[in-house]
Amino acid sequence: MDSQGRHGQRVVWAVVGTGVGPLLLAATREGLVNVVFHATGEARGGALERLAARLGAEPVEEPGSPLLAEAIRQVEAYFAGRRRDFGLPLDWSLVSGFPREVLRELAAGVPFGSVVGYGDLARRVGQPGAAQAVGMAMGANPLPVVVPCHRVVESGGGIGGFGGGLETKRRLLALEGVLPEPLF
């Protein structure tokens, strides 16, 4: 497999330092396709292998790529407190069906500084009994931070789970003013 993939697919990536640690951002010609937390060593290597297998193209490190430039600017602005939402083209090819529907609703309907319960999000997509399936969709989110799964919490007031780790979720919610800033 070459860097152009089976169907001329091009995948570029870069790692960006943030307030929650290094994030790997990957993009195709369609848009941002993947955001990965804790993007060092094994985690980064594993993420790149999964991308290559799923997209049929070997990801190429290219931090100066025009495909990534705007995503990098917006992510840096978000973590610096200068941006409240993302205006990026997204490549949804890593997720489909119900999870994609839920993630699109989350991206469009849960603004900066607010949270939604798993059950509430299930109701918004017309599946009121699917709170657990919403949780699974959050765990499958290929675009965390940009598609803000950190804003989904338990209806009883609990923080819920998070693929990037609970401390990362707390930091993101603190950045958005939902939780107090951690004391460390």
- Catalytic sites, residue numbers: 149
CA–CA dist 69, 144 (Å, integer): 18
* Torsions phi, psi for 13 (to 5 deg): -145, 160
Amino acid identity of residue 92, one-letter, is W
| Element holding 27 (H helix, E strand) | strand 23-27
Contacts of 181 by beta carbon, 8 Å cutoff, 6+ apart: 174
Name the nearest CA neighbour of 94 among 127, 58, 152, 137: 137
- Measured CA to CA in angstroms, residue 8 lies from 16, 68, 96 at distances of 26, 18, 21
Q: Which helix (H) or strand (E) holds 61?
A: strand 60-61
The Cα–Cα gap between 48 and 129 comes to 35
Tokens encoding 119: 């059950």
DSSP label at residue 112? T
